[in-house]
Structure 1
Amino acid sequence: MRTTTWMPAAVLATAVLLAGCSNADTTAEPTGKSGGDHTATASVDPAALDTGSYPTSPAPEFGRATQETILDVDGQRLAEFTVVPFEIDPELTSVKMPTMVMRSGKNLGVVLSDAAGDIAHNHQMLYGYVSTAATPTTKTTDPSRSVVQAVMRFNNPEDAAATAREIHQNLLTVDDGTGLETAENIDILPNTLVSTGQTNFDAGPEVSVNAFTPHGDYLLYTWAKAPAADKDWTAKAVAKSLQLQEPLIDQFPATPTRTQNGGQSAQLPMIDQDKVLIYALPEEDAQAQLGDDMAAYGPRGMAHRSTNPPLTYKILTDAGSDHNAVYKTTVYRAKDDAGAETILTEFYNDLLAEGFTAAPTPQGLPDAKCATKDTVNGTQDYCMVANGRYVGEASGTDNKKDVDQQISAQYLILEHADQNAE
């Protein structure tokens, strides 16, 4: 278990798991733990570290997004302003797919249906973010409650509202094999288009609700599913999601479109917020995470794809870890050394609580904490290490040597990290 489960592209191919239920300068001198007077922890032997072919110095600064990357970057930034399912119901802690940046309207196809994806695409949806989670179960056939929470941005309120109407109508009139939905009303949500459906399983009937709320340039979408006996919960989940999502999306500093900016191109945002991404190991494949990595996320953004979303959100918030890098490795930057140690300790202990066991540390790096677990997908290995205000995290499957090389290279990169960064 990695504290944040940033999944490889191959896993994204299974994104219908729940959707199917819903119709610096690289030559810089090390600054070390005390902002310039520290080279390496005494117990670390840099000469003994095996870093393989990984870089051991920070990457050059990333600069601003370009027209080619802005949809990914704004989609990543949107994650911090999308409600995490556990905020709707604290028991929604088992992260599922689809949880990802939505790079275009077509991506709505894996969230809801191909028809919905076509409708959003036809109305020129720009990008979005979707987060999915369920209540934990022992077996896949056990009854559970689930939520899909998505925010989609359009060019204007008219396109957002039209998309909501057309998808809602499609659910009511076009049977994709799961039956037609029934229009419903939630009294306290007069601006929300709601439909419900029921599916019968061996464990008993389940009800689901699709809810679409146009909100300015955004379309807010919530899908909630529960055993039929808990139908009231689905309505309450929709209401709670909107109570949280509407004020949250109002805070999002979206990049203005050319039309919104008086016909001129707006200044695009920085890719690497707070200059933390330069310290993470890069992916060899630029499309490894399909728009979700090469990113800086805040506590809420990190929680979306965490193995323990409430813990991740709380620990990162309390530690002042406002921006965290996600690339091949993950880098957290706390407000101080004590915060970094808390992140390391709490996340490592959470691994052990989830059935991982302590694993040997890499040669020359006894300060690292490593854990391992045999799973149906192979042996998962994680290693974490703190260096001043920073924590590096590496992971892999069936290749402990590679994980050791990653975290060793990561430690050396963090020796160059700015410990006095604002």
Structure 2
Amino acid sequence: MLCAGVLLAGCSDTADDQPTAKSGGDASAAAVDPAALDTGSYPTSPAPEFGRATDATIVEVEGQRLAEFTIVPFEIDAQLTSPGTPGKVLRSGKEFRSISSEAADILANDKMLYGYQTNASTPTATNTDPSKSVLHAVLRFNNAQDAAKAAREIHTQLTTVDTGAGVKTPETIDILPNTLVSTSESRYLAGPEVSVNAFTPHGDYLIYTWAKAPAAEKDWTAKTVAKALDLQAPLIDKFPAQPTKEQNGGKTAERPMMDQGKVLIYAIPEQDAMEAQFGDDMAAYGPRGMAHRSINPPLTYRVLTETGSQHNAVAKTVVYRAKDDAGAQRIFDEWINDLKSQGFADAPSPQGLSNATCVTQDTVQGTADYCLVVKGRYVGEAHALDNKKDADQQISAQYLILEKANQNA
């Protein structure tokens, strides 16, 4: 995925000969000419309320909710600010395959319900510079016995079976007696490196942390695993997970609302069904959940927390809702400033919407375009790759939707 601005997302060409917006925000009505807006085929009114999760959506909804209770790598080490892939809902044990194919098979057999994974590394100028990395995941099971069983089986597999990547060395971390640890060494362009796999059963959950560092800094990996567990265990204890039938006396408990903050109804949905099948969008996230998907996680978490933006929608577009108008303006300003600090330049505003600000940058994937607009407590964000017209249409439709949004929610 191409990453631009605040979120990791697919990003967007031709710049129409329109005036460039120099500042954003909720400008006067004179800044908007509804008759001139080009919204393409996008909706211009809020969607109907989503209701409660169903059998078909409960795993995705639970995984999305879990994101807010999964620590972000920069919380473990302030240097871990460069994310790789966006945070991801794991809808089954099989989806752990991108991390470990051997572990994925075991997790599937041991009936993992769902999980959430996140990752980041220390920034480097080139791929020959030494770096440190962390991949962290929280996996939920039916019960504590299944979680502990999966941890033992994966650890045994990693330390006894060579599937082509070598057998991991079992080790211990003195202060983590319940954590199953294995390590391995390898050599890359930056020199010899050491990595550690750590699995810790914690009630119905299995906490997984993988950490990598230059071989000379092996101690950092152990300290990182310990810090991750120290932060993650109490956080996951606060997660209001949907009870299983077993936990609810054999009956299905009332399902959680898909859109608990009633903000997802204001985001433009994906038009391509394939884009909506990964479990991570058509979702509402809090500050930590949004940070997992950001290319500047510390900034995202801090600004959304400080502006009271507890409910934010991710779909085709992104919608943030601050506690007040000033908070929305701050989100807008911070995001635009962050984009420009990464090399994005001003681009023309959409026709009829001069109070929207757009920025653009040529990348190896193509021309990335971002547009943002404020309406009261809400900020709308649109992005496109090699298609500036599409970004303009998205943000124009988004603005019309936000005109109908509940400012007192």
TM range, normalised to the smaller chain?
A: over 0.9
* 1:53-90 Cα shifts (integer Å, max 9, x gaps): 10000001100000111000000000000010010111
Distance change (3 Å), C-alpha of 1:255 and 1:7? farther
2:212 to 199, 207, 225: 225
1:3 to 2, 6, 19: 6
1:378 correspondence with 2:373 = no
- Residues 102-117 of structure 1 aligned to structure 2 (within 5 Å): 102-111=90-99, 113-117=100-104
> Counterpart of 1:180?
167
Distance change (3 Å), C-alpha of 1:4 and 1:397? same
Distance change (3 Å), C-alpha of 1:306 and 1:333? same
1:118 correspondence with 2:102 = no
1:302 correspondence with 2:305 = no
CA RMSD of aligned residues (A): 1.4
* 1:36-67 Cα shifts (integer Å, max 9, x gaps): xx997232111111101100000011000001
* 1:250-288 Cα shifts (integer Å, max 9, x gaps): 000000011110011000001112100000001013341
1:59 to 38, 43, 47: 47
Secondary structure in 2 aligned to 1:139? coil
> Counterpart of 1:353?
341
What is the TM-score with the length of structure 1 in the denominator? 0.91
Rounded to whole Å, the distance in 2 between the matches of 1:109 and 1:98 is: 16
- Residues 106-255 of structure 1 aligned to structure 2 (within 5 Å): 106-111=94-99, 113-255=100-242
Secondary structure in 1 aligned to 2:31? coil
Distance change (3 Å), C-alpha of 1:362 and 1:155? same
Where relative contact order (Cα < 8 A, 6+ residues apart) is larger, the structure is 2
Contact 1:98–1:110 (Cα < 8 Å) also in 2: no
* 1:330-388 Cα shifts (integer Å, max 9, x gaps): 00000000000000000110000011111111011111111101111101000000000
Moved more, 404-413 or 177-186: 177-186
Distance change (3 Å), C-alpha of 1:6 and 1:322? same
> Counterpart of 1:29?
none
Contact 1:124–1:155 (Cα < 8 Å) also in 2: yes
Rounded to whole Å, the distance in 1 between the matches of 2:86 and 2:102 is: 17
> Counterpart of 2:306?
318
Gaps of 5+ in 1: 9-37
1:267 to 231, 247, 254: 254
> Counterpart of 2:280?
292
1:47 to 7, 13, 35: 35
Q: CA deviation at 1:115?
A: 1.3
Rounded to whole Å, the distance in 2 between the matches of 1:202 and 1:323 is: 42
Contact 2:287–2:309 (Cα < 8 Å) also in 1: yes
Distance change (3 Å), C-alpha of 1:187 and 1:7? farther
* 1:115-160 Cα shifts (integer Å, max 9, x gaps): 1001000010000000011111122232110000100000010110
- Residues 320-339 of structure 1 aligned to structure 2 (within 5 Å): 320-339=308-327
Secondary structure in 2 aligned to 1:312? helix
Contact 1:119–1:166 (Cα < 8 Å) also in 2: yes
Secondary structure in 2 aligned to 1:219? strand
* 1:97-127 Cα shifts (integer Å, max 9, x gaps): 363000000011112x211001000010000
Number of residues of Structure 1 aligned to a counterpart in Structure 2: 391
Rounded to whole Å, the distance in 1 between the matches of 2:274 and 2:366 is: 23
The one-letter code matched in structure 1 to 2:7 is: T
Contact 1:183–1:196 (Cα < 8 Å) also in 2: yes
Secondary structure in 1 aligned to 2:195? strand
The one-letter code matched in structure 1 to 2:90 is: M
Distance change (3 Å), C-alpha of 1:6 and 1:98? closer
Secondary structure in 1 aligned to 2:243? coil
Secondary structure in 1 aligned to 2:192? strand
Contact 1:45–1:365 (Cα < 8 Å) also in 2: yes
Q: CA deviation at 1:211?
A: 0.3
Rounded to whole Å, the distance in 2 between the matches of 1:353 and 1:7 is: 20
2:85 to 97, 107, 111: 97
Secondary structure in 2 aligned to 1:403? helix
Secondary structure in 2 aligned to 1:149? strand
Contact 1:40–1:415 (Cα < 8 Å) also in 2: no
Contact 1:294–1:327 (Cα < 8 Å) also in 2: yes
Contact 2:127–2:190 (Cα < 8 Å) also in 1: no
The one-letter code matched in structure 2 to 1:332 is: Y
